[in-house]
Amino acid sequence: MSSKNRYDNDRPEWIPYARQSIEESDVEAVVQTLRSNYITQGPRTSWFEEALKEATGASHAVVVSSGTAALHLSCLALDVSVNSVGIVPANTFVATANCLKLAGGGVIFADVDPTTGLSQPSHFKAALEESLSDSLPVKALLPVSYSGSCPDFEGIRDIADQSGLSVIHDASHSLGASYRTSDGSICKSGSCAHADAAIFSFHPVKSICAGEGGAILTNDEALARRARRLRSHGVERSQSISEQYGPWAYQQEELGLNYRMTEMQAALGYNQLARLGEFVDRRLEIARRYHEAFSVEPFARVFNLPQLDERSAWHLYPIRFRNPNCREQAYAFLKERNIGSQVHYIPLYHHSYYKDIIGREEMPGAEQFYASCLSIPLYPSLQDSEQERITSTLKSFCEQVD
């Protein structure tokens, strides 16, 4: 196949399961940056950080080169590294677990609710209790707001507090989401009201995009300072260093990385963030339309719907097939008709890397969710006519397998 034909998204009739929403002002923001004095970490990175603080209510934001970098730095900055273990939902992208391995630590998987794909407090508690016989201590819980919906963060924080653990919220799917607490107040995803750190990804399929990019949000000043230092080689610049070594001087105080974001990415992320509300509203509107369309036969006999969580960022719309054989058939049926879909996710312990180091586990909730789930197209620029095409194609499928 020639490289020209490799990309489904280039086919005019193709509807992907997810895609970025770029408008002319985004293009202008990036082009203006290329003509400015800074093209790597500079003023636009600071603007983006300030805007993220405002959007989430967290006191500090540290913008980095990817969500994976944000997870890795969060582990390092919280000392969740060598000789420690973190608990990660089995239903997530590999990066949520990989950050622990990259930081030199270990991974334990928590099972998930088979209807939502979320790890809730009971799942973290069970994984923590099972881990007590292991030699290395658990130091962190890494809840994931899978698909854009938040789990019970208060309950997860309570479990962490009872055992002196850190909480790193992988909020890659949930920028723009919020959740209600037991006293009725509303917390924004990324506010860190119940987490030591939260991370976002700005990959093109997420709530906003920066091409690639990520951020760490926290209310802990020392953690933010350390994450900033680790983002740039572990190097510090300060008055006392200048006085000691000269006005040009900097000091490497620990081993860090280059996880800086370019100014072109920061300009795009900053410009997109101004439209976050619009993006999330449109995603919710599409989710509501799917809900309405699928609440009648023949759909209801063939698959179940995600809960219509009005506070979700609606990163994904995962339907769940009653008969697991139907999922694979539906994937092929949609693809033949130029509609993309995807499975989120293969339980992490199925991956050969984790099979080799942990041994295969079977978690009933994660297995059940994995066997049945399929994410269908959902993104702000999905046209109503395209959504109708998706719905009518799924209708034909359901009638055929009924």
Site residues for ligand PLP per CB under 6 A: 66-68, 92-93, 95-96, 144, 170, 172-173, 201, 203, 214
Distances in Å between the Cα of 356 and the Cα atoms of 72, 350, 360, 361 are 22, 10, 8, 11
Least distance (Å) from ligand PLP to the CB of residue 138? 20
CB neighbours of residue 273 within 10 Å:
22
Question: Per-residue b/e over 158-170, b at no fewer than 16 CB within 10 Å?
Answer: ebbeeeebbbbbb
Least distance (Å) from ligand PLP to the CB of residue 142? 9
CB neighbours of residue 38 within 10 Å:
13
Cα–Cα distance measured from residue 156 to residue 194, given in angstroms and rounded to the nearest whole number: 8
CB neighbours of residue 183 within 10 Å:
6
Least distance (Å) from ligand PLP to the CB of residue 5? 25
Pull the structure tokens for residue 328: 């694979």
Is the Cβ of residue 74 or residue 387 nearer to ligand PLP in the bound state? Answer: 74
Least distance (Å) from ligand PLP to the CB of residue 401? 30
- Upstream peptide bond of 7 is cis (omega within 30 degrees of 0): no
Count Cα neighbours of 119 within 13 Å in the Cβ-side half-sphere.
Answer: 27
Least distance (Å) from ligand PLP to the CB of residue 211? 10
Is the Cβ of residue 21 or residue 342 nearer to ligand PLP in the bound state? Answer: 342
Paired strand residues for 371:
none
Residue nearest to ligand PLP (CB): 67
Pull the structure tokens for residue 373: 């789930």
Phi, psi of 172 (to 5 degrees): -55, -30
Is the Cβ of residue 113 or residue 170 nearer to ligand PLP in the bound state? Answer: 170
Least distance (Å) from ligand PLP to the CB of residue 92? 5
Is the Cβ of residue 207 or residue 372 nearer to ligand PLP in the bound state? Answer: 207
Question: Which residue, 177, 142, 149, 157, is CA-closest to 67?
Answer: 142
Q: Is 109 exposed, middle or buried (0-12, 13-18, 19+ CB in 10 A)?
A: buried
Is the Cβ of residue 67 or residue 340 nearer to ligand PLP in the bound state? Answer: 67
Is the Cβ of residue 189 or residue 393 nearer to ligand PLP in the bound state? Answer: 189
Cα–Cα distance measured from residue 233 to residue 84, given in angstroms and rounded to the nearest whole number: 23
Least distance (Å) from ligand PLP to the CB of residue 172? 4
Is the Cβ of residue 119 or residue 393 nearer to ligand PLP in the bound state? Answer: 119
28 neighbors 34 (Cβ within 8 angstroms): no
Least distance (Å) from ligand PLP to the CB of residue 347? 14
Least distance (Å) from ligand PLP to the CB of residue 170? 5
Least distance (Å) from ligand PLP to the CB of residue 341? 16
Is the Cβ of residue 313 or residue 394 nearer to ligand PLP in the bound state? Answer: 313
Q: Which amino acid is at 236?
A: E
Is the Cβ of residue 72 or residue 194 nearer to ligand PLP in the bound state? Answer: 72
Is the Cβ of residue 119 or residue 172 nearer to ligand PLP in the bound state? Answer: 172
Least distance (Å) from ligand PLP to the CB of residue 358? 19
Residue 183, SS3 per DSSP: coil
Is the Cβ of residue 55 or residue 205 nearer to ligand PLP in the bound state? Answer: 205
- Which own/partner contact pairs does 136-139 have at CB distance under 8 Å and 24+ positions apart? 136/83, 136/84, 136/85, 136/105, 136/106, 137/83, 137/84, 137/85, 138/84, 138/85, 138/86, 138/87, 138/108, 138/163, 138/165, 139/78, 139/79, 139/80, 139/84, 139/85, 139/86, 139/105, 139/165, 139/166
